[in-house]
Chain A
Amino acid sequence: MLRFLITKFAQMIPTFFGITVLSFAFIRLLPGDPATLLAGERGVTPERHAELMALLGFDKPIWQQYLLYVADVLQGDLGNSLVTRQPVLEEFFTLFPATLELSICAMIFATVLGLPAGIIAAVKRGSWFDHTLMGSALTGYSMPIFWWALILIILFSTPPLSWTPVSGRIDILYFFDQPTGFMLIDSLLSGEKGAFWSALSHLVLPTIVLGTIPLAVIARQTRSAMLEVLSEDYVRTARAKGLAPSRVIGLHALRNALIPVITVIGLLVGTLLGGAILTETIFAWPGIGKWMVDSISRRDYPSVQGGLLLIAGIVMIVNITVELLYGLINPRIRYRR
């Protein structure tokens, strides 16, 4: 186990350096630079441009800039944002809890509904439920997020229904310290009356919107994995032994069908943690997706580099966790000492 972890972390090192190179190079390959964008339509004289680039530290040869960057990264310093002048690390971890909270809720929503739906569809293959579910899954998967979110807002957030708030993380009139950054927890800690319910109601629509595609993917994946397993010999044997159908499906079939499903969930989590740009924009959700896009469009080099590096790091850790989970589910792939 320990050896597995060490190997995995060792494998992360070259990936990590690869990402520093790519993120450093890609953002610089984009046309335009921070100084030009700072000046906008107003324009900037070549002399002032050179002065600004020197001020921002971009006048040195590119290899030198890269080496300085890597040296800083190795010391845990991701630099300061060119726009706000705040440390990138601080900005990232101020916004990341919002993304994490939403992603967790969306994955819970998708898994809790997607897994049973997929199992039932597989067991009742060819039934009306199966057809409806697979049809809905396809619709959900191809739904334009922007449209879907606006439809939900118009239906549920404005009069006459007004069941849920339009956007944000909590009613704007609540004002308390947020030690954890997770609004559900902070609202509970604040002790303010109604704060938790406000935070929860603000999560409903973004969770549904962000969870829709993962829900469709998980339902389809579960169904096809279950179908494959259900036709295996050992399932037939279990049935022949006279085991209760719930035991056959729940223990014998599901456990084996879960491997590809978990893989897919792991990949989905990775994607969500990178920030859900559209969902965050529509629901005014202060997460890292929107922050990354803003940073790219402003050519905020340190924020883009730092953000990519951190997201990549988190995705790698999620992937390792998923691999560890395989072992828990299926003893055949448990790692020996």
Chain B
Amino acid sequence: MKRTLSMTALGLIMAASVTAAAEAKTLVFCSEGSPEGFNPSLYTAGTTFDASSRQVFNKLVEFTTGTTNIEPALAETWDVTDDGLEYTFHLRKGVKWQTTENFTPSRDFNADDVVFSFARQWDKNHPYHGVSGGAYEYFNGMSMPDLIKDIVKVDDYTVKFVLNRPEAPMIANLAMDFASILSAEYADKMMEAGTPEKVDLEPVGTGPFQLVAYQKDAVIRYKAHPAYWRGKADIDNLIFAITPDASVRYQKLKAGECHVMPYPNPADIEAMKADPDINLLQQEGLNVGYLAYNALKPPFDNPAVRKALNLAINKQAIIDGVFQGAGKIAKNPIPPTIWSYNEATVDDAYNPDTAKALLEEAGVTNLKTAIWAMPVQRPYNPNARRMAELIQADWAAIGVEAEIVSYEWGEYLERSKSKDRDGAVLLGWTGDNGDPDNFLAVLLGCDGVGGSNRAQWCYKPFEDLIQKAKVVSDNDKRAELYKQAQTVFKEQAPWATIAHSVVFKPIRKEVKNFKIDPFGGHVFYGVDIEE
């Protein structure tokens, strides 16, 4: 799909020539793939969010760049009623929409835009609900349809969300990409013109960059939004040079053909560290890689057996062999970058002798099982096959015979959900909103059994803690409950927590103020280039 939004005023400057472009500050990001589209509420891929919500749009509240902390954005302040059922947002005034070839805004951002952006996803009768396929997977995935009772425009600059039940992570949810605010006026114009899908392909946002042109699998061009409410970006042009292969991205970075690249090959890390032209940034990822037993199937229904198998796994060998140093041993089911992380947890130290003794105590002999190895690379598990082989060897040392199985990715995800699945599954999770609930409830809650709870583990003391934490609005109290939940988790051992990835981000030396986003995204507002 080649869509040239064509040459708007600044686009012409970009077009003029290499020399002209050299005067304006242009940052080139070697992105890993094409976005699915430009409306973040329709998709779930990070590539799409990088190209849309993280540059073009704003949300009511946003994560402070480089952290999981929430800060005001299009909403300046908000109040929550004591029962936790009503959230009232007071909106920022004087926020300008981007002007594109298709659309010249006649008004600033206001409550109508907020209502439109959520009603489209929430109300099945909304005229825009079915446009562009109408699958709002994140909105649905975060249970928003059940959660929201009503969205009310109180006045032009006040919006109220009424909930069906208290939900402490609500504010964090609204900082997620699907909660980006789109222009209601633009949507109305496009509907009148009979081309409503343009809203999702040629985006108009309030964000720091506006889309100039997109050529599938080749390039995305943005220019700085001159009237951005936080102040115009330091760089004038932002270009995504789509480069699918990691080794080639590195060569491009070396050759100066791009400034920032995502997802380097672990094998290239050492060379990057030694390269004088490259700054290698690193941070622990907001993710966890785990091995989930099937707690419904004997003998894995016995916590002692699960514990024994955990003790037999040499995690340090996995960090060295599979992550090649780009990982950190996980002791909790949530990563250390998330608040409420329980520092006090003591990890299962590698001890094959104790493991063997525990198994004998539990009366388990000649255990035969399977280890499921994912067919794809993920940050939390760069080589599942290798990881499975290492675990297989560790278990063999205590007399447990494990066969490695794998399926094509879609099939893997589907089959691993089954309650009568044989064997333990290697999988992982990357956080959506920096809230512990997003890990503990989604991956280990009773609702997830037969679905995202691959351990099929429903344990009442744990469930009570996380349900209670959902409805408490005091953050310290919530943190305390989640810490207790992590202790229960560790005792019961439904998973072997394997690792959190360490994210590496190679950037060229001349790039200033780039921060690694814990959510795996790439945010270019605030970034500068020093020639």
Interface residues of A (CB under 8 A from B): 30-33, 36-45, 48, 52, 55-56, 82-86, 90-91, 94-95, 150, 153-154, 157-159, 162, 165-169, 171-178, 181, 192-194, 281-284, 286-287, 290-291, 294, 297, 299
By a CB distance below 8 angstroms, the chain A residues around B448 are: 43
Instruction: Across the A-B interface, give the 5 residue pairs with the lowest CB-CB distance, nearest first.
Output: A32-B410, A286-B217, A31-B411, A286-B218, A284-B243
B241:A172 contact, CB within 8 angstroms: yes
By a CB distance below 8 angstroms, the chain B residues around A36 are: 410, 413-414
Chain A, residue nearest B374 (CB): A41
A84:B44 contact, CB within 8 angstroms: no
B14:A175 contact, CB within 8 angstroms: yes
Q: What are 7 A-to-B residue pairs whose CB atoms are below 8 Å?
A: A154-B251, A167-B251, A173-B14, A173-B26, A178-B2, A284-B217, A284-B248
* B75 is an interface residue with CB less than 8 A from chain A: no
Partner of B410, one of A178, A193, A299: A299
* B346 is an interface residue with CB less than 8 A from chain A: no
A33:B216 contact, CB within 8 angstroms: no
Partner of A86, one of B1, B6, B429: B1
Interface secondary structure of B, over-half rule: mixed
A157:B255 contact, CB within 8 angstroms: yes
* B349 is an interface residue with CB less than 8 A from chain A: no
A55:B137 contact, CB within 8 angstroms: no
B393 to chain A, nearest CB (A): 27
Binds A, one of B49-57, B127-135, B471-479, B505-513: B127-135
Chain A, residue nearest B411 (CB): A31
By a CB distance below 8 angstroms, the chain A residues around B33 are: 294
Interface of chain B residues 199 through 221 with chain A (CB within 8 A) = 200, 213, 215-219, 221
Chain B, interface residues (CB within 8 Å), range: 35 or more
By a CB distance below 8 angstroms, the chain A residues around B137 are: 38-39, 42, 44
Interface secondary structure of A, over-half rule: loop
By a CB distance below 8 angstroms, the chain B residues around A83 are: 36-37
Known contacts A153-B248, A171-B18: A31-B407 contact under CB 8 Å: yes
* B361 is an interface residue with CB less than 8 A from chain A: no
* B155 is an interface residue with CB less than 8 A from chain A: no
A290:B244 contact, CB within 8 angstroms: yes
B509 to chain A, nearest CB (A): 15
Chain A, residue nearest B138 (CB): A42
Interface flags for B204-247 (1: CB within 8 Å of A; 0: not) read: 00000000010111110100000000000000000101111101
By a CB distance below 8 angstroms, the chain B residues around A171 are: 18
* B389 is an interface residue with CB less than 8 A from chain A: no
Partner of A41, one of B36, B248, B257, B428: B428
Q: Determine the distance from Cα of A333 to Cα of B52 in the docked complex, in whole angstroms.
A: 59
Q: Determine the distance from Cα of A36 to Cα of B414 in the docked complex, in whole angstroms.
A: 8
B14:A32 contact, CB within 8 angstroms: no
Q: Determine the distance from Cα of A175 to Cα of B8 in the docked complex, in whole angstroms.
A: 12
By a CB distance below 8 angstroms, the chain B residues around A86 are: 1
B15:A84 contact, CB within 8 angstroms: no
A175:B11 contact, CB within 8 angstroms: yes
A166:B257 contact, CB within 8 angstroms: yes
Q: Determine the distance from Cα of A164 to Cα of B21 in the docked complex, in whole angstroms.
A: 21
Chain A, residue nearest B2 (CB): A94
B409:A32 contact, CB within 8 angstroms: yes
* B165 is an interface residue with CB less than 8 A from chain A: no
Q: Determine the distance from Cα of A55 to Cα of B221 in the docked complex, in whole angstroms.
A: 32
Q: Determine the distance from Cα of A91 to Cα of B37 in the docked complex, in whole angstroms.
A: 13
By a CB distance below 8 angstroms, the chain B residues around A281 are: 244-245
B200 to chain A, nearest CB (A): 8
B413:A194 contact, CB within 8 angstroms: no
B255:A168 contact, CB within 8 angstroms: no
Known contacts A55-B133, A166-B257, A176-B15: A158-B251 contact under CB 8 Å: yes
Q: Determine the distance from Cα of A44 to Cα of B215 in the docked complex, in whole angstroms.
A: 32
* B366 is an interface residue with CB less than 8 A from chain A: no
A42:B248 contact, CB within 8 angstroms: no
A198 to chain B, nearest CB (A): 9
Q: Determine the distance from Cα of A286 to Cα of B219 in the docked complex, in whole angstroms.
A: 9
Known contacts A32-B414, A39-B44, A165-B257: A286-B215 contact under CB 8 Å: yes
By a CB distance below 8 angstroms, the chain A residues around B252 are: 166-167
Partner of A55, one of B21, B135, B218: B135
Q: Determine the distance from Cα of A264 to Cα of B50 in the docked complex, in whole angstroms.
A: 45
* B451 is an interface residue with CB less than 8 A from chain A: yes
A92 to chain B, nearest CB (A): 10
Interface residues of B (CB under 8 A from A): 1-2, 4, 6, 11, 14-15, 17-18, 21-22, 26, 28, 33-34, 36-37, 44, 132-135, 137, 140-141, 197, 200, 213, 215-219, 221, 239, 241-245, 247-248, 251-252, 254-255, 257, 407-411, 413-414, 417, 427-429, 442, 448, 451-452
Partner of B15, one of A154, A175, A178, A193: A175
A168:B241 contact, CB within 8 angstroms: yes
Q: Determine the distance from Cα of A287 to Cα of B216 in the docked complex, in whole angstroms.
A: 9
A279 to chain B, nearest CB (A): 11
Known contacts A38-B44, A84-B36: A172-B28 contact under CB 8 Å: yes
B197:A38 contact, CB within 8 angstroms: no
A172:B37 contact, CB within 8 angstroms: no
Partner of A31, one of B18, B255, B410: B410
By a CB distance below 8 angstroms, the chain A residues around B451 are: 43, 45
Partner of A43, one of B254, B409, B413: B413
B408:A95 contact, CB within 8 angstroms: no
A211 to chain B, nearest CB (A): 19
By a CB distance below 8 angstroms, the chain A residues around B239 are: 172
B216:A91 contact, CB within 8 angstroms: yes
A88 to chain B, nearest CB (A): 10
A85:B133 contact, CB within 8 angstroms: yes
Known contacts A168-B218, A171-B18: A33-B2 contact under CB 8 Å: no
By a CB distance below 8 angstroms, the chain B residues around A48 are: 140
A39 to chain B, nearest CB (A): 6
A173:B18 contact, CB within 8 angstroms: yes
B448 to chain A, nearest CB (A): 8
By a CB distance below 8 angstroms, the chain A residues around B243 are: 167-168, 284
B229 to chain A, nearest CB (A): 27
By a CB distance below 8 angstroms, the chain A residues around B17 are: 192-193
By a CB distance below 8 angstroms, the chain B residues around A159 are: 254-255
Most buried by A among B200, B221, B413, B452: B413
Q: Determine the distance from Cα of A315 to Cα of B409 in the docked complex, in whole angstroms.
A: 31
B410:A42 contact, CB within 8 angstroms: no
By a CB distance below 8 angstroms, the chain A residues around B409 are: 32, 37, 297
By a CB distance below 8 angstroms, the chain B residues around A287 are: 217
A94:B245 contact, CB within 8 angstroms: no
Known contacts A32-B409, A94-B1, A178-B2: A282-B245 contact under CB 8 Å: yes
By a CB distance below 8 angstroms, the chain A residues around B14 are: 173, 175
Q: Determine the distance from Cα of A56 to Cα of B252 in the docked complex, in whole angstroms.
A: 39
Q: Determine the distance from Cα of A31 to Cα of B413 in the docked complex, in whole angstroms.
A: 11
B133:A166 contact, CB within 8 angstroms: no
B427 to chain A, nearest CB (A): 7
By a CB distance below 8 angstroms, the chain A residues around B428 are: 41
B247:A150 contact, CB within 8 angstroms: yes
A52:B251 contact, CB within 8 angstroms: no
By a CB distance below 8 angstroms, the chain B residues around A84 are: 1, 36-37, 216
By a CB distance below 8 angstroms, the chain A residues around B26 are: 173
B333 to chain A, nearest CB (A): 14
By a CB distance below 8 angstroms, the chain B residues around A37 are: 409-410
B216:A286 contact, CB within 8 angstroms: yes
B6:A177 contact, CB within 8 angstroms: yes
Partner of A38, one of B11, B28, B135, B219: B135
A145 to chain B, nearest CB (A): 12
A177:B427 contact, CB within 8 angstroms: no
By a CB distance below 8 angstroms, the chain B residues around A193 are: 17
Q: Determine the distance from Cα of A95 to Cα of B218 in the docked complex, in whole angstroms.
A: 10
Known contacts A52-B135, A162-B255: A284-B221 contact under CB 8 Å: no
